[in-house]
Amino acid sequence: MSTIGGFDRSAPTFFHVSLPPQALAGVRTRRILALGIDFIIVSILSFVIWLALVIFTLGLSLFFVPPLFPLVAFFYNGLTVSGPRMATPGMHAMDLEMRCTDGSRVPFLNAAVHAVLFYLSWMFPPIFLISLLSDDKRCLHDILAGVVVTRRPSYFL
């Protein structure tokens, strides 16, 4: 039986493996703070891209600008969570990481879909209450994307 980052790899990959209680300590609060940091970063990136488009097209992009924030958030989450840190900069600052439920790294597509599901969840805020009922503090978008957010292993070993 081997463990990777505190996850028991002997469990079937389609079931959520058990985590030590320390891995989930303070996760909800840290996720909210990480969201604030990431929201600011995505907003700044979106503004910089919008400004560059306006300058390079001499203002013509004002008529044809795609919805930049969702596009930036999609790639921001996909690239950072599937990267070596397994977390967005906000999550990394709050000592969080995201993994698949079997303990493996999150692929780009799962991370990007997780972001889309998260932003869609804002249209129905009561959905976030599922986190209060879940033993592993997962939100509905976490469950649908097949991921779990935990503290970094060095903090709960």
- Mean pLDDT per segment of 10 residues, for the chain of length 157 residues? 49 53 83 94 94 87 81 93 92 91 89 90 87 84 88 68
Does a structural domain hold residue 139? yes
Asked if the structure places residue 103 within a domain, the reply is: yes
Domain holding 125, by residue range, is 21-155
Strand locations in the chain (E): 3-4, 7-8, 96-100, 147-151
SS (H, E, C) the chain: CCEECCEECCCCCCCCCCCCHHHHCCHHHHHHHHHHHHHHHHHHHHHHHHHHHHHHCCCCHHHHCCCHHHHHHHHHHHHHHCCCCCCCHHHHHCCEEEEECCCCCCCHHHHHHHHHHHHHHCCCHHHHHHHHHCCCCCCHHHHHHCEEEEECHHHCC
Is 92:85 a contact under the CB 8 Å cutoff?
yes
Domain contains 62: yes
Task: Enter the pTM of the model.
Answer: 0.79
Joined together, the tokens standing for residue 98 give 């995201």
What pLDDT was estimated at residue 1?
A: 44
Q: Is residue 5 part of a domain?
A: no
For the chain, the domain total comes to 1
- Would you say residue 16 lies in a domain? no
Query: Is position 9 within any domain?
Result: no
At 4 the pLDDT is 52
Residue 11 within any structural domain of the chain: no
pLDDT at 135: 78
For residue 72, being part of any structural domain is answered with: yes
